[in-house]
Amino acid sequence: MDGPVGGPRPRALARAWYAQKRWLYRGGRPHGLARALNDVWGRLYARGWLSLGRGATLQVRGRTTGRTLTLPVVVAEHRGAHYLVSMLGDDAGWVRNVRADDGRATLVAGGRARAVRLVEVPVDDRPEILRRYLDLAPGARPHVPVARTAPLADFRRVAADFPVFRVEERPRQ
């Protein structure tokens, strides 16, 4: 059955979009096109363009190269705190880099860089944050096997698979 104006149904479009997003990150890693798109989005978010106040660029030190790596992220606000979520789970490079560097990172948004410490949130505290993140980050929805409107019990089942980090200010040294 077609949608209201004779085009494809919204669910069919969503399925196609989700399949495309999963293809860009097949194997849990961004491939060539995804890296290029991430670079563009990261630059836009760093300048405060198109981020709607929730996009930022995360800079982390590579655990093997020591080089600064950058990627676009969505910062989810929940109960007065800010959080980053790994839509690709534990194996995402930025997660491993942050863990190896004791949570040190830099967030750039609106042209301002700030040194932060990312503190991993215990699994039991993640479900509400994951739900909030999916509300704000439509690009992450294909990677998280829970509908954003699902009950918290569904988020509890997947919480261990998706690292969540609380953003804290890091004193300048």
In 3D space, the residue among 121, 14, 128, 30 whose CA is nearest the CA of residue 70 turns out to be 30
Task: State residue 7's pLDDT score.
Answer: 45
Beta strands in the chain (DSSP E): 55-61, 68-74, 76-78, 81-85, 104-109, 112-120, 164-169
Can you tell me the distance from the alpha carbon of 41 to that of 130, in angstroms, rounded to the nearest whole number?
22
pLDDT tens for residues 60-99?
Answer: 999 999 998 888 899 999 999 999 999 888 888 899 999 9
Task: State residue 46's pLDDT score.
Answer: 61
Residues of the chain with pLDDT under 70: 1-53, 172-173
Class assignment of domain 10-169?
mainly beta
Domain ranges of the chain: 10-169
